[in-house]
């Protein structure tokens, strides 16, 4: 089974959006998940000037890159951060995305705790707003509380929305949940809408996410399961290297190309 395969520009964390777009296109990809993560990877942000956003849109179009999702991580229960997420929703709609991806908690921005909103009604409302704007809300397996597909499945059962789904991060479920990705996927696949393809090396908590196909995750088994269940969900590659980061831009470009070659060799790329 073939899938739409994108690259999350967080793969190019620390590099410019221009470098990210060029590297992704040069690797052979046609789809992209731009990162709009405040305080971390701000490749495109809703508070950019109209001129800046138009320039990025034009560059994506010139390179033949279609935005399939926006990586718009914000803490959705933080009263101070929720407006940021609504702004990201509008940005995702503007870019023509099908999905907006977030974790439930704060992904990268370090800030003091503020008054929190109730999670379940907030997600119901966000799912409704996204649906009105033609988007699907995909919650990523991330963090200690919702780091597995099973935990998100149980949450979504309680939320009861028809427009809030799971973005299954294949490496996060190991790092945060200490579970086997395939076995965890089996517990939540009927609420699955999007997958972050991220490989893993080293110990459970070790920050080591190499090119897809060069780590320890059995992606062939995962793809076989998706085919068995008829799940042609989009996939988005995310490479985060080690805690030291990549040594230079060439290493990131090589990892993107290596990932493309691996998936293309398996006949996965649509």
Beta bridge mates, 142? 146
- pLDDT, tens digit (0-9, with 9 covering 90-100), for 12-66: 999 999 999 999 999 999 999 999 999 999 999 999 999 999 999 999 999 999 9
Other CB atoms within 10 A of residue 229 CB: 15
Instruction: State how far the Cα of 193 lies from the Cα of 188, in Å rounded to an integer.
Output: 10
Q: What percent of the chain has pLDDT over 70?
A: 96
State both tokens at 261: 């070659």
H helical segments located in 194-248: 219-229
**What pTM was computed for the model?**
0.96
> Closest by alpha carbon to 124, among 71, 70, 164, 166?
164
Give the chain's residues under pLDDT 50: 112
Q: How many CA atoms lie within 13 A of 88 on its CB side?
A: 29
3-class secondary structure, 244: coil
Residue with tokens 């110990």: 203
Give the domain ranges of the chain.
5-265
Look at strands 208-209 and 241-242 and give their pairing: antiparallel
| Per-residue model confidence (pLDDT) at position 108 | 65
CATH class of the domain at 5-265:
alpha beta
Q: Where does the chain show beta strands of DSSP type E?
A: 5-8, 31-33, 66-67, 69-71, 99-102, 136-140, 164-169, 192-197, 208-209, 235-237, 241-242
pLDDT given for residue 111 in this prediction: 57
């Amino acid at each position: 089974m073939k899938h739409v395969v994108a690259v999350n520009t967080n793969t190019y964390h620390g590099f410019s959006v221009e470098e990210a777009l060029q590297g992704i296109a040069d690797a052979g990809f046609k789809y992209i998940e731009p990162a709009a993560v405040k305080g971390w990877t701000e490749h495109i942000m809703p508070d950019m000037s109209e001129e800046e956003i138009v320039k990025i849109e034009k560059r994506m179009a010139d390179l033949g890159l279609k935005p399939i999702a926006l990586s718009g991580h914000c803490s959705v229960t933080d009263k101070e951060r929720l407006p940021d997420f609504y702004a990201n929703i509008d940005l995702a709609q503007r870019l023509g995305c099908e999905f907006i991806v977030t974790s439930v908690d704060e992904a990268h921005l370090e800030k003091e705790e503020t008054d929190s909103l109730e999670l379940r009604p907030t997600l119901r409302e966000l799912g409704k707003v996204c649906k009105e704007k033609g988007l699907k809300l995909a919650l990523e397996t991330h963090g200690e509380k919702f780091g597995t597909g099973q935990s998100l499945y149980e949450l979504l059962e309680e939320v009861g929305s028809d427009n809030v789904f799971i973005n299954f991060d294949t490496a996060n479920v190991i790092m945060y949940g200490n579970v086997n990705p395939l076995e965890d996927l089996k517990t939540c696949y009927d609420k699955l809408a999007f997958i972050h393809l991220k490989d893993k090396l080293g110990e459970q908590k070790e920050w080591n996410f190499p090119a897809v196909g060069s780590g320890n995750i059995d992606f062939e088994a995962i793809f076989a399961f998706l085919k068995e269940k008829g799940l042609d969900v989009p996939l988005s590659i995310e490479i985060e290297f080690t805690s030291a980061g990549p040594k230079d831009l060439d290493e990131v470009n090589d990892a993107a190309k290596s990932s493309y070659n691996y998936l293309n060799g398996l006949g996965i790329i649509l």
